[in-house]
A and B are shown apart, each in its own frame.
Chain A
Amino acid sequence: MVVVRFIFLCVLISCSFAGAANAELRIEITGGVEQAVPIAVVPFGWQEEGSMPFDVSRLISEDLERSGRFKPLSPDEMLERPTAGRDIDFDDWRILGIEVVIVGQLLKTGADEYIIQFQLFDVFRGKQLLGYRQPSSARQLRGASHLVADMIYEELTGIRGIFSTRIAYITVDGEPPKQRFRLIVADADGENARILVESNEPLMSPAWSPDGRKLAYVSFEKKQSEIYVQTLRSGARKRVSSRRGVNGAPAWSPDGRKLALTLSKSEGNLDIYVLDLETQVLTRLTTRGSIDTEPAWSETGKEIYFTSDRAGQPQIYKIGTGGGRESRISFEGPYNARARIDPAGEQIAVVHNDRGNYRIALVDLKRGYSQVLTKGHLDESPSFAPNGETLIYATREGRKGVLATVTTDGRIHQRISSFKGDVREPAWSPFRRN
Chain B
Amino acid sequence: MFISRLCLILGLLVILTGCGGTSGTAMDDGTAAGDGSESTDGSARSSGAGDDDLMSGGEYGDPTAPGGNLEVRVIYFEFDKADIDEASKALLVEHGSYMADNPGLDVRLEGHADERGSREYNIGLGERRAQAVRQILLLRGASSDQLMTVSYGEERPAVLGSDDEAWSLNRRVELVYNP
Contacts and interface: CB of A to CB of B under 8 A. Distances in A.
Interface of A: 1-6, 175-177, 202, 204-205, 220, 223-225, 245-246, 248-249, 262, 264, 268-270, 291, 293-294, 307, 309, 313-314, 335, 337-338, 351, 353, 358, 377-378, 380-381, 396, 399, 425
A337 B156 contact: no
A202 B120 contact: no
Given A4-B59, A225-B151, A293-B121, 14 more contacts: A1-B57, A4-B21, A6-B59, A175-B160, A202-B156, A246-B127, A246-B151, A293-B123, A309-B124, A337-B121, A351-B118, A353-B117, A358-B116, A425-B119
A380 B124 CA distance: 16
A202 B151 contact: no
Between A223, A358, A399, the greatest number of chain B beta carbons within 10 A of the residue's beta carbon is seen for A223
Between A248, A269, A358, A425, the greatest number of chain B beta carbons within 10 A of the residue's beta carbon is seen for A248
Interface of B: 21, 23-24, 28, 55-59, 80, 104, 106, 115-121, 123-125, 127-128, 130-131, 134, 149-153, 155-162, 178-179
Contacts of A381: 118-119
Nearest to A203: B155
A213 to B, nearest CB: 24
Given A262-B120, A358-B117, A291 B125 contact: yes
Contact of A338 (B121, B134, B159): B121
B179 A223 contact: yes
Contact of B124 (A2, A291, A378): A291
A176 B124 contact: no
Contacts of A2: 56-57
Give the dominant DSSP class at A's interface: loop
A262 B118 CA distance: 14
Nearest to B28: A6
Nearest to A338: B118
A204 B151 CA distance: 13
A314 B118 contact: yes
22 contacts: A6-B28, A176-B159, A177-B156, A202-B155, A224-B150, A248-B123, A249-B120, A268-B130, A268-B131, A270-B127, A291-B121, A293-B121, A293-B124, A294-B118, A314-B117, A335-B117, A338-B121, A353-B117, A378-B162, A381-B118, A399-B161, A399-B162
Give the dominant DSSP class at B's interface: loop
B155 A4 contact: no
B17 to A, nearest CB: 12
A396 B57 contact: no
Contacts of A399: 160-162
Contacts of B161: 399
A3 B149 contact: no
Contact of B162 (A6, A225, A396): A396
Given A4-B23, A380-B119, A270 B124 contact: yes
Given A224-B150, A248-B123, A1 B104 contact: yes
Nearest to A1: B57
Between B23, B151, B156, B178, the greatest number of chain A beta carbons within 10 A of the residue's beta carbon is seen for B151
B165 to A, nearest CB: 14
Contacts of A246: 123-124, 127, 151
B119 A205 contact: yes
Contacts of A204: 119-120, 153, 155
A358 B154 CA distance: 15
Nearest to A289: B128
A378 B115 contact: yes
A268 B149 contact: yes
A43 B122 CA distance: 50
Given A1-B56, A3-B59, A294 B149 contact: no
B30 to A, nearest CB: 11
Contact of B106 (A1, A202, A377): A1
B120 A3 contact: no
A343 to B, nearest CB: 21
Given A3-B59, A399-B160, A291 B128 contact: yes
Given A1-B55, A176-B160, A351 B120 contact: no
A174 to B, nearest CB: 10
Nearest to B176: A223
B89 to A, nearest CB: 19
Contacts of A294: 118, 120-121
Between B104, B117, B152, the greatest number of chain A beta carbons within 10 A of the residue's beta carbon is seen for B117
B117 A351 contact: yes
A306 to B, nearest CB: 10
A268 B124 contact: no
Contacts of A378: 115-116, 162
A401 to B, nearest CB: 10
Contacts of A225: 123, 150-151
Contacts of A313: 80
Contacts of B119: 204-205, 338, 380-381, 425
Nearest to A7: B28
A220 B123 contact: no
Contacts of B153: 204
Given A291-B124, A399-B160, A223 B150 contact: yes
A327 to B, nearest CB: 19
Contacts of A269: 131
A215 B104 CA distance: 40
